[in-house]
Structure 1
């Protein structure tokens, strides 16, 4: 008997997951009849989502036809919008970047202008694609908390402020849009790279500071999307400096990229941006090493409480300042191991994002692919084509 609800979308999921590579496999896994399997596979073939190849072994006669997901059958767009720069890309249906561009984010704080720039860059990328290539969706990350249900950014005074992000891009491109905070998107991507780790923290140290939390195998957003907003926790013993959020004494004022660049300017050494600061620290520049290590200590003081509370197995450090990993992690480890319990840190790993770790735009692409290739989305797409 066929499994109830076994649809073309379910079959595509089996093929994508390599759980079924022939029609016989599909019949065996699902219990569907030969006719039902043929109907579903033909739907996927007609839409280009699946390709078939005459490969594989055979006990005699014609070898079985193998089925494979066709990532070239469509495109998704990705926009990773940060506080100081943005990256956009067009990707295939496994998230491989086909074409991309980058632009500096103006310091004016005009979110609509930034989104307009992103949309224009995306349209230029789309013009490079074959005209018959369908665009199925857009994944966007922003440097602030997000209401995942509405796609609105929430953190007024930081990042992009309170803006209807999803609505803006839906109006521009008329495709499904999924929006989340930049650090949450990275946390989801890192969890895919560490599927065996159910408890994971991703620390993003860039212009701002944030944490993405995977607990019990699931991303934790909190009641209002503000989980992991550690950059605006108040520090004890600080200089009570004003923060870009409008408050004073936040962690960001001591350890965020914008604060460190300000310190360098105060030293009479203005820098072009955080990549230059990270390069100086990697090269052993005394001022850069000192400031980055102290930033690591201050972040570690805050992160120690999260380590005690959440007991992650791994802390992955991402963002521009992670490229100065040695002085940064030296400060982090010093304070985390000083302030956290021995049990919480007994097997804790603190590591940088790997060289092959997904970039921000690849993580955004993966986020929207999860949505558009979900069973229900594929069934709706095929139903629209039939009608």
Structure 2
């Protein structure tokens, strides 16, 4: 006998309706849930007591009395988020709507290992909170973006080609402990981490393309990776390996050695690091995708030619990906996004992909820039913590800790 789904009538479910904009008044909650007025009132009292919902005067109702608009209070807590690249990091404190309240960028090498990197991030986060005058108790969670494959459910980085020392390391435990040590509290904060391309895709899709059911982002930086959002959810594959575009093999590049140890990978031919290496071979000083971008901005001829050729090679692979996934939006992000690399992608992609696959396709560049991964990390934390089931558990614990009133 088939089981019926549990009714979506808890305080957490009401919060989801309010947070996602599906309901903004008590009347709309009554209509959508079928609950009694007293039950809705009781659930809302719990959400008000926790500080998760706020109210404000709305439009006049048909009876002449102003309705009360219910909103998710995005100021009652903050999220800590960090975006790690190979040699740089970007850390921020954000409100629950994803607005950046304070941020810090600086040099931080993932090759220095997880202990050094995570302890440094904890110092940065603590300094940012102090600068805002925000107590550590206001932090509801931490989101981390890393340049490697992540097994999302366990929070472990798995065999990362450019993150020596991080494979299987307990990042969540270390981050919690480092923050707790600095705040003098127990290490109870939830810490969520994901691959940088996944979080960039989520951040961009949530911000500007919320109605796009299949969204694909390709990050071209030190390496090449892709994030795919399908029906509002990041598609990660079985164990976080989805989107590893840079390690698709090119049939005619058997001598191009990749950082993963294999030969012929797209990243070994068309990434920012690869183009920098090609330029170095021509006597042009370049070590990274950032250096290539600076040369392109200056109009350096060899950089222009090689970036366009790299885009063409990426376009070959993307023609297959677009035919397979049929996305509505393909976003190119990273160091080489708004350069001749994009021209090369367009040239080959439209030649090789089926016209049916590209008929409704928009090829665009990043809207959020270097804040995309931060936005995605913050959204991941908020959507996890305030999902109905998790919200109900947290709500029960929050209300149990509040002093009884007489």
State whether residues 279 and 323 of structure 1, in contact with CA within 8 Å, keep that contact through their aligned partners in structure 2.
no
Instruction: Name 1:167's counterpart in structure 2.
Output: 173
Distance change in 2, residues 1:238/1:136 (3 Å) = same
1:381 aligns with 2:394: yes
1:182 aligns with 2:196: yes
In structure 1, which of residues 204, 216, 222 is the aligned counterpart of residue 237 of structure 2? Answer: 222
Deviations 1:220-264 (CA, angstroms, capped at 9, x unpaired): 222232111121222232261332222233222211112222333
d(CA) in 2 for partners of 1:59, 1:337:
54
Shift of 1:100: 0.8
Instruction: Name 1:323's counterpart in structure 2.
Output: 338
State whether residues 111 and 162 of structure 2, in contact with CA within 8 Å, keep that contact through their aligned partners in structure 1.
no
Provide the aligned length of Structure 1 versus Structure 2.
Answer: 383
Shift of 1:55: 3.9
Deviations 1:177-197 (CA, angstroms, capped at 9, x unpaired): 111111111222333332333
Instruction: Tell me which moved more, 24-33 or 40-49.
Output: 24-33
Aligned CA-pair RMSD: 2.5
- Report SS of the residue matched to 1:293: helix
d(CA) in 1 for partners of 2:30, 2:379:
29
State whether residues 141 and 381 of structure 2, in contact with CA within 8 Å, keep that contact through their aligned partners in structure 1.
yes
1:194 aligns with 2:198: no
Unaligned stretches of 5+ residues in structure 2? 1-5, 180-187, 401-406
Shift of 1:60: 5.3
Shift of 1:138: 0.9
State whether residues 49 and 73 of structure 1, in contact with CA within 8 Å, keep that contact through their aligned partners in structure 2.
yes
d(CA) in 2 for partners of 1:270, 1:46:
60
Instruction: Name 1:153's counterpart in structure 2.
Output: 157
Alignment of 1:129-144 (within 5 A): 129-132=132-135, 134-144=138-148
d(CA) in 2 for partners of 1:367, 1:290:
39
Unaligned stretches of 5+ residues in structure 1? none
Shift of 1:87: 0.9
d(CA) in 2 for partners of 1:352, 1:341:
22
> How high is the TM-score relative to the length of structure 1?
0.89
d(CA) in 2 for partners of 1:322, 1:243:
21
- Report SS of the residue matched to 1:320: coil
d(CA) in 2 for partners of 1:373, 1:385:
13
State whether residues 78 and 95 of structure 2, in contact with CA within 8 Å, keep that contact through their aligned partners in structure 1.
yes
d(CA) in 2 for partners of 1:22, 1:99:
33
In structure 2, which of residues 377, 386, 391 is the aligned counterpart of residue 364 of structure 1? Answer: 377
d(CA) in 1 for partners of 2:287, 2:247:
25
d(CA) in 1 for partners of 2:120, 2:79:
18
Instruction: Name 2:312's counterpart in structure 1.
Output: 297
Deviations 1:36-85 (CA, angstroms, capped at 9, x unpaired): 22222222222221222234314556533332221110111111112231
Instruction: Name 1:311's counterpart in structure 2.
Output: 326
Instruction: Name 1:348's counterpart in structure 2.
Output: 361
1:94 aligns with 2:97: yes
Shift of 1:158: 2.6
d(CA) in 1 for partners of 2:231, 2:387:
22
State whether residues 223 and 267 of structure 2, in contact with CA within 8 Å, keep that contact through their aligned partners in structure 1.
yes
Instruction: Tell me which moved more, 88-97 or 260-269.
Output: 260-269
Distance change in 2, residues 1:260/1:66 (3 Å) = same
Shift of 1:216: 6.0
In structure 1, which of residues 71, 75, 79 is the aligned counterpart of residue 74 of structure 2? Answer: 71
State whether residues 198 and 218 of structure 1, in contact with CA within 8 Å, keep that contact through their aligned partners in structure 2.
no
Distance change in 2, residues 1:303/1:28 (3 Å) = closer
Instruction: Name 2:129's counterpart in structure 1.
Output: 126
